[in-house]
């Protein structure tokens, strides 16, 4: 409640009652909100600032008419993010409910993922069991299959911060009394407890299509018969761009299983070199108890040559994903 008083008021968002800040970005803030008209229930609102702030203007009191700052978010980019999200309909992808803009802001009204970022769950649990990792990564892969095979879209920013979830269980820690009719806007305090079993961690959803790109559109797909005239560089280009998501999927899977990313260095130039060479290891002792099959799958994703890297269908067909491998340990 005390938290709510600190939430800013944005022009043109009168319909929505902001209840909590969910995310913080360089140019966007994401809030949990409730529809005062009761149509949509709870949503997430991504507020994207159009202009850079002056230091003196502070964080949130940018007057709509003040345009001193440089444009930070190109209109075309936001419209692209919106138009890509509008054509998507998949249980593992955050849905766009509405899009509006004011002089100084864009607003994306999004399906709420009350569990927040997968990232926080990795931090909380240190790492995921193989079963929980499979449960999570399979859902991400299902969304990627839909994007790559059905929609011709590459996400290009797959990472734990952009993987959100709808939790399977909510464990209240406070407000244990049932809500009365007057407590409508009271938010229960508690924790979402992920676990293997009935619902695993819950439903995983891919968010943030800010960097995504359409590689082919339903409407521009040439009718059967003329497909054969497509140049090889176009075909290859399409394959390469999809493979960036597969690399990222490998990084996410690696991180889920052991709790730290495959590539890391304090120096950006050293890190860049490590990535370029695909220099990673299944570091002992952290990887000692993780199955060979899981390592095999990771290594098919963290393959430098995009031609040899697994595509989404090879990924989904791997024995570790299908759960058909023996639960043998890597060690001994």
Catalytically annotated residues: 157
Q: How far apart are CA 280 and CA 48, in angstroms?
A: 36
Region binding ligand ADP by CB under 6 A among candidate stretches 12-20, 57-65, 107-115, 271-279:
107-115
Please, what is the minimum distance in Å from the beta carbon of residue 161 to Mg ion? 5
Q: Could you say which of 81, 130, 142, 208 contacts Mg ion (CB under 5 A)? A: 208
- Other C-beta atoms within 10 Å of 164: how many? 27
Q: Is 321 in the site for ligand ADP (CB under 6 A)?
A: no
**Beta carbons of 206 and 91 less than 8 angstroms apart:** no
Q: Which C-beta is closer to ligand ADP: that of 26 or that of 55? A: 26
Task: Give the residue from 112, 126, 262 showing the smallest Cα distance to 194.
Answer: 126
Span 159-188, contacts to ligand ADP by CB under 6 A: 161-162, 164
Q: H or E segment at 4?
A: helix 2-5
Q: How far apart are CA 49 and CA 181, in angstroms?
A: 37
Q: Which residues of 243-252 are buried (b: 16+ CB within 10 A; e: fewer)?
A: bbbbbbbbbb
Q: Is 44 in the site for ligand ADP (CB under 6 A)?
A: yes
- Other C-beta atoms within 10 Å of 3: how many? 10
Please, what is the minimum distance in Å from the beta carbon of residue 112 to ligand ADP? 5
Q: Which C-beta is closer to Mg ion: that of 212 or that of 293? A: 212
Q: How far apart are CA 296 and CA 310, in angstroms?
A: 11
DSSP state of 223: P
Name the phi and psi angles at 169, rounded to 5: -135, 140
**Beta carbons of 32 and 199 less than 8 angstroms apart:** no
Q: Could you say which of 152, 200, 202, 210 contacts ligand ADP (CB under 6 A)? A: 210
Region binding ligand ADP by CB under 6 A among candidate stretches 17-25, 126-134, 285-293, 314-322:
17-25
For 101, the 3-state DSSP assignment is: strand
Contacts of residue 40, Cβ cutoff 8 Å, sequence gap at least 6: 97, 109
**Beta carbons of 246 and 307 less than 8 angstroms apart:** no
Q: Which C-beta is closer to ligand ADP: that of 25 or that of 306? A: 25
Please, what is the minimum distance in Å from the beta carbon of residue 212 to Mg ion? 11
Please, what is the minimum distance in Å from the beta carbon of residue 41 to ligand ADP? 13
Please, what is the minimum distance in Å from the beta carbon of residue 73 to ligand ADP? 9
Kindly write out the interface string for residues 279-308 of this chain, putting x where it contacts ligand ADP by CB under 6 A and - elsewhere.
------------------------------
Q: Is 117 in the site for Mg ion (CB under 5 A)?
A: no
Region binding ligand ADP by CB under 6 A among candidate stretches 12-20, 105-113, 225-233, 240-248:
105-113
Region binding ligand ADP by CB under 6 A among candidate stretches 8-16, 18-26, 267-275, 282-290:
18-26
Contacts of residue 130, Cβ cutoff 8 Å, sequence gap at least 6: 257, 290, 291, 294, 320, 327
**Beta carbons of 19 and 32 less than 8 angstroms apart:** yes
Q: Could you say which of 62, 88, 99, 117 contacts ligand ADP (CB under 6 A)? A: 117
Region binding ligand ADP by CB under 6 A among candidate stretches 97-105, 109-117, 183-191, 288-296:
109-117
Q: Is 25 in the site for ligand ADP (CB under 6 A)?
A: yes
User: Which of ligand ADP, Mg ion, none does residue 94 bind to, with CB < 5 to 8 Å depending on kind?
Assistant: ligand ADP
Residue positions counted in the chain: 332
Residues interacting with ligand ADP, by CB under 6 A? 22-23, 25, 28, 30, 44, 46, 94, 110-113, 116-117, 161-162, 164, 207-208, 210
| Binding region for Mg ion (CB under 5 A) | 162, 208
């Amino acid at each position: 409640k005390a938290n709510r008083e600190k939430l800013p008021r944005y022009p043109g968002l009168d319909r929505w009652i902001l209840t909590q800040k969910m995310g913080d970005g360089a140019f966007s803030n994401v809030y949990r909100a409730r529809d005062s008209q009761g149509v949509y229930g709870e949503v997430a609102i991504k507020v994207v600032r159009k202009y850079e702030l002056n230091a003196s203007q502070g964080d949130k009191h940018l007057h709509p008419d003040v345009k001193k700052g440089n444009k930070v978010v190109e209109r075309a980019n936001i419209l692209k993010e919106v138009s890509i999200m509008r054509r998507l309909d998949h249980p593992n992808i955050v849905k766009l409910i509405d899009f509006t803009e004011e002089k100084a802001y864009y607003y994306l009204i999004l399906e709420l993922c009350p569990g927040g970022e997968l990232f926080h769950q990795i931090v909380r649990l240190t790492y995921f069991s193989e079963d929980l990792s499979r449960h999570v990564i399979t859902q991400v892969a299902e969304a990627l299959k839909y994007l790559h095979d059905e929609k011709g879209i590459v996400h290009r920013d797959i990472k734990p911060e952009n993987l959100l979830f709808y939790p399977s269980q909510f464990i209240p820690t406070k407000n244990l009394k049932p809500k009365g009719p007057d407590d409508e806007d009271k938010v229960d305090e508690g924790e979402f407890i992920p676990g293997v079993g009935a619902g695993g961690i819950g439903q995983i959803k891919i968010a943030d299509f800010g960097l995504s790109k359409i590689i082919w559109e339903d409407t521009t797909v040439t009718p059967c018969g003329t497909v054969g005239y497509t140049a090889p560089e176009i075909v290859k280009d399409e394959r390469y761009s999809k493979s960036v998501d597969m690399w990222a999927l490998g990084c996410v899977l690696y991180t889920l299983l052991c709790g730290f990313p495959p590539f890391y260095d304090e120096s950006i130039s050293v890190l860049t070199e490590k990535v370029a060479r695909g220099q990673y290891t299944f570091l002992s002792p952290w990887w000692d108890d993780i199955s060979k099959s899981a390592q095999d799958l990771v290594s098919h994703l963290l393959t430098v040559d995009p031609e040899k890297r697994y595509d989404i269908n090879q990924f989904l067909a791997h024995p570790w994903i299908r759960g058909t491998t023996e639960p043998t340990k890597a060690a001994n």
